[in-house]
Structure 1
Amino acid sequence: MKTTIKKYLVVIVMMLVTSINYANKNTAVKIVDGKKVRIEFESVKKGHTLSVKDKNGTVIYSQEIENSGTYSKVLDLSKLEKGNYTTELEKDFEIVIKPFTVLDGQVSFDEEKTIFKPVIRTEDNLVLISKLAFDKQPLKIAIYYNDEVIFSETVKDEKNLLKRVYKLSKEEKGDYKVIINSNNRSYIKDFNI
């Protein structure tokens, strides 16, 4: 079991270092005549999703990326009502968020931030969870067996990497679900033992 955990941690650390390297200088935003905006993302993959959300988190535009590489899109945001919005690029292990404000038909962008998604892996009867947490946000974890909560906890750590390993009973065969809440978002993984 210790070997499995060590291998898992090595993979997570390598993945997180790669994510951090790609997160730096990830987005270019060019405002065209104050109304149209060209958004460019480097190192995207097919299947990533670009969305525009209002201040309540309601998706008002969404598009799945069709080609890997550099992604560029011109959006006319001037028709949006006055208020605060975000563009979000959802990648494999992170979400790149670029907040912007629309005022009198003019668009202005704020500083980009990145939220790292939790990584949930299962191996036999082990549930392995890790998440980069530079923002020190707590991680609420709930494990369900046949739609009933069998374990829950809130992980709050002063370190930048939150990690947990849970050992489930080998005798309790069936459907399991892990639900993680962090940064006002939910992440779900279904699995069987």
Structure 2
Amino acid sequence: MKNVLNNSKKGILMVTMFVTLLSFANEVSLFKIENDAERTSLTLNNVKQGNLLSIKDDNGIILYKELILQSGIYTKGFDLTSLPNGGYIFELDKDVEIQTIPFTVLSNTVTFKKEMETTIFKPVTRVKGDVVYVSRLSLNKAPMEIAIYFINTESVFSKPELMYSEKIKDTENANRIYKLTGKNKGNYKIVFTTEGRIFTKEINN
């Protein structure tokens, strides 16, 4: 199916949509938890340098974060018993995915909900010239909104202009191809919104 969107100001944004099988290596459980009365030992397999580990509360407030400095296996002990009663998550932000495991603290007792461990796959964007390839895997078929903005670099006063938007839903594997062309010089920004998160991709022309 093809959808061509004409825009008289900046040229043509051509969108070709198709669905193919997108394969990601879906690892088994990332986390290994050893929990005793005072200390929680967390082991992460197959981490890479630059991955970001964090602890967040139910409101999304970051209570702890650490940049992984060495690839391989990561092990560290945490004292979680001093946290206020409530729900929390360990989160590991990787190259193309975010993995989380929730836990609760109640009266200094820490309980992990390993059956509720989740993986969110990030949209993967690849640029070749003025063609942009987007792929996204969602095992729970979560909807995703895509918005493409044109940024006029010839004027410091211009605001990003929405060129195209769409909402993808009811699919595990989604692929899109966008051909970006414009009469004036400028850059593009693609904003992806899915599962309560926002991901962006800057494209400089």
Q: TM-score range by the shorter chain?
A: 0.7 to 0.9
Q: Which has the higher contact order (CA 8 A, sep 6+)?
A: 2
Residues 125, 170 of structure 1: 8 Å contact kept:
no
Matched, 1:117 2:122: yes
Where in structure 2 are there 5+ consecutive unaligned residues?
Answer: 1-15, 152-159
Q: Where does 1:24-35 land on structure 2 (aligned, <5 Å)?
A: 24-33=28-37, 35=38
The amino acid that maps onto 2:43 is: E
Question: Higher helix fraction: Structure 1 or Structure 2?
Answer: 1
Q: Deviations over 1:99-136 (max 9, x none)?
A: 00000011001121111111012211112111111011
Matched, 1:180 2:185: no
Q: Where does 1:1-193 land on structure 2 (aligned, <5 Å)?
A: 13=23, 16=24, 18=25, 20=26, 23-33=27-37, 35-110=38-113, 111=115, 112-146=117-151, 147-158=160-171, 160-169=172-181, 171-193=183-205
The amino acid that maps onto 1:57 is: G
TM-score scaled by length of structure 2: 0.81
The amino acid that maps onto 1:61 is: Y
CA distance in 2, matches of 1:141, 1:95: 19
Q: Deviations over 1:153-190 (max 9, x none)?
A: 111133x2111111111544311101101111110111
Task: Give me the identity figure in percent.
Answer: 38
Residues 141, 180 of structure 1: 8 Å contact kept:
yes
Misfit runs of 4+, over 2 Å: 170-173
Q: Deviations over 1:61-118 (max 9, x none)?
A: 0000010000011111111110000000111111110000000011001121111111
CA shift for structure 1 position 37: 0.8
The amino acid that maps onto 1:39 is: L
Q: Which has the larger radius of gyration?
A: 2
CA shift for structure 1 position 25: 2.5
CA shift for structure 1 position 145: 0.4
CA distance in 2, matches of 1:172, 1:155: 29
Residues 173, 192 of structure 1: 8 Å contact kept:
no
| Superposition RMSD in Å | 1.7
The amino acid that maps onto 2:148 is: I
Residues 95, 114 of structure 1: 8 Å contact kept:
yes
The amino acid that maps onto 1:148 is: E
Count of aligned positions: 177
CA distance in 2, matches of 1:189, 1:178: 5
